[in-house]
């Protein structure tokens, strides 16, 4: 589980660097949208999937 979290963090850092290097606001806005969508997809699907494959339960607090 820690490995998937570190992969998620490095992916976030790479996309954040891309966001900073964008020349135009519209490019930055599109990059920010894809970054936020990707982060939500990771939280909703990848992390619980890894936990289920390892036989652990995942609880969400709202």
The pTM is what? 0.33
The conformation of residue 49, written as its DSSP 8-state character, comes to H
Instruction: Give pLDDT tens digits along the chain (62 positions).
Output: 445 544 445 555 556 555 555 555 556 566 667 777 888 887 777 777 777 777 766 565 54
* Residue 2: per-residue pLDDT: 46
* Residue 52: per-residue pLDDT: 73
The answer for residues whose C-beta is within 8 angstroms of residue 57's C-beta and 6 or more apart is 51
From start to end of 9-58, where are the E strands?
none
* Residue 5: per-residue pLDDT: 47
Paired tokens of 19: 């966001």
């Amino acid at each position: 589980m820690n490995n998937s979290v570190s992969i998620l963090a490095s992916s976030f850092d790479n996309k954040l660097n891309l966001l900073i290097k964008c020349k135009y606001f519209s490019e930055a806005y599109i990059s920010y949208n894809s970054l936020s969508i990707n982060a939500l997809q990771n939280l909703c699907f990848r992390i619980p999937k890894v936990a289920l494959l390892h036989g652990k339960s995942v609880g969400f607090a709202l």
